[in-house]
Chain A
Amino acid sequence: MTALPRRIIKETQRLMQEPVPGISAVPDDSNARYFHVIVTGPEDSPFEGGLFKLELFLPEDYPMSAPKVRFITKIYHPNIDRLGRICLDILKDKWSPALQIRTVLLSIQALLSAPNPDDPLANDVAELWKVNEAEAIRNAKEWTRRYAMDN
């Protein structure tokens, strides 16, 4: 295995020493570029009370290119598709090497607080979110309760 870049080591250490509220990220035993992540659903969002598992991978040229992130836990959200892929500009063309694992995960948590059905990835979800927001939010709450709760 090639040496792990120091920046990744430093980020991992900081994630442990100064954890971000509502977010945990742990490197995998066998691959220090692969992180197991839990993001808690933000308060006052339909995802409140949910514990969402994500996976995050730092590609070879990180931090020059963005981490690959996807949801593992099912989630009903207009900007997250059935495969858990996330539509977020900083994960694509707005990536900057000054962003970090923690800022990426905070942005994803913010996306849960502020769904944007006008720029959808999950088209059927976005459609309902636009025509009947109340029902969409009910669905999101139901999915959270059914799939993302701890008990």
Chain B
Amino acid sequence: MSNDVDERVVDEVEALKAILMDELIVRTNESGYPVAVETVVFPSTADDALQQYVCLTLVVELTPGYPDVAPDILLRNPRGLDDSVLGRIDREVKEKCESYRGQAVIYELIELVKEYLTASNLPSCQCAICLYGFREGDHFTKTECYHYFHSHCLACHVTSSEKSYQEELDKLPAWQRNQHPQSPCQVLCPVCREPIQCDMNMLSSAAPPLDVENARQFELSDELRSLQRQMAALFSHQKRRGGIIDPEAEDSKLLLVTDTTEQEGEDDPAGPSVLFPPAAPLFNSTSGSTGSSVPNRGDWRRGGRGGYRGRGNSGSHHNRHGRRHHQAAATSR
């Protein structure tokens, strides 16, 4: 074996050790001659490990005759990389080995893999806004709180937050609005509600995520249809027993309640007429005789949208209680 010692190999491995230090593992034979080297390759992110979502162990088996013979390459423990990316790296690595015959290639291989990982350095979680993953070519944003969104999706969230903020502001009386002039809309992270800063110019120029564009259409399965039938049956059953809310009947009941409470002089200053205004029902659930209570879309627009905002109920309720609400499940992940 010792006859096969090639100074070029010894020099190359020494140089690699000097560059990579303890990141390089060298396997040697019984005479101490290197037979294989391996290192874990990360994307280049200025050594910020938190921004590294993918990695790969590159194993270079120094075949007898290397560097005049191409080494054997193994790509081990790929993380966050799908098979197509891995296949491309494998092909490129082998091509490079061929073209570098007779020369030291290991450092070139490490650089090549690093380049690929940097290009494929994507978080493997889903975007909490569109519920799709991050694909190569997707523009995405990491918030200060380390949550990931497609830039396009986050732009929609920012625009929507600003719009609702302006709407709330417009509802305030002028004197209250003037109390905090120019206070800007603080956008919150959709996942953890931490305040976040966004560069809207950058966000809004991003294209929609690729997976969303390619997703399959939805079709009702037999299972769904059977569930629909069960629900319709339950609805009819509850309707027979008088268990279904009839918004129209409730409205006329409320008119009576208003009268009696006024006569009895109950101590509720707002009175039930404010708490239960005879408003248009939220859903037009009395229409349709099939037992399913589906509003047509037109009804929704009228009843759902205009009705929701215009209804006195939520307003009086919130004013009376200082905008307190139930603390419901956090959106923690």
Q: Which of B278-301 contact A (CB under 8 A)?
A: 279, 281-283, 285, 292-297, 300
Q: Which of B130-161 contact A (CB under 8 A)?
A: 130-132, 153, 156-157, 159-160
Q: Which residues from chain B contact A53 at a C-beta distance below 8 Å?
A: 231, 234-235, 238, 244
Give the distance in Å from the alpha carbon of A90 to the alpha carbon of B332 in the complex.
13
Q: Which of B296-324 contact A (CB under 8 A)?
A: 296-297, 300, 304-305, 308, 313-314, 317, 321, 323-324
Give the distance in Å from the alpha carbon of A111 to the alpha carbon of B331 in the complex.
16
Against B, the Cβ 8 Å flags (1 = close, 0 = not) of A89-115 are 110111011111001001100110000
Q: Which residues from chain B contact A8 at a C-beta distance below 8 Å?
A: 218
Q: Which residues from chain A contact B80 at a C-beta distance below 8 Å?
A: none
B231 touches A26 (CB 8 A): yes
How many residues of chain B get a CB closer than 8 Å to chain A's CBs?
74
Q: Which residues from chain B contact A51 at a C-beta distance below 8 Å?
A: 234
**9-residue interface stretch from B11-19, B187-195, B196-204:** B187-195
**9-residue interface stretch from B39-47, B59-67, B93-101, B222-230:** B222-230
Q: Which of B62-99 contact A (CB under 8 A)?
A: none
Interface membership of A27, Cβ < 8 A: yes
Q: Which residues from chain A contact B221 at a C-beta distance below 8 Å?
A: 16
Give the distance in Å from the alpha carbon of A54 to the alpha carbon of B276 in the complex.
20
Q: Of A4, A68, A148, which is within 8 A of B308 by CB?
A: A68
A61 touches B327 (CB 8 A): no
Interface membership of B32, Cβ < 8 A: no
Q: Given A92-B314, A150-B237, check contact A111 B326 (CB 8 Å).
A: yes
Q: Which residues from chain B contact A121 at a C-beta distance below 8 Å?
A: 275, 313, 317
Q: How far is the CB of B172 from chain A (nearest CB, A)?
A: 14
Q: Which residues from chain A contact B317 at a C-beta distance below 8 Å?
A: 87, 121
Please give 14 more A-B residue pairs, beta carbons under 8 A apart, in addition to A96-B193, A98-B191: A7-B129, A16-B221, A24-B227, A30-B294, A53-B234, A64-B156, A65-B164, A71-B245, A81-B275, A81-B276, A93-B323, A103-B331, A110-B329, A119-B321
Q: Which residues of A contact B (CB under 8 A)?
A: 4, 6-13, 16, 24, 26-32, 34, 36, 38, 51, 53, 55, 57, 59, 61, 63-65, 68, 70-74, 79, 81-85, 87-90, 92-94, 96-100, 103, 106-107, 110-111, 116, 119, 121, 123-124, 146-148, 150
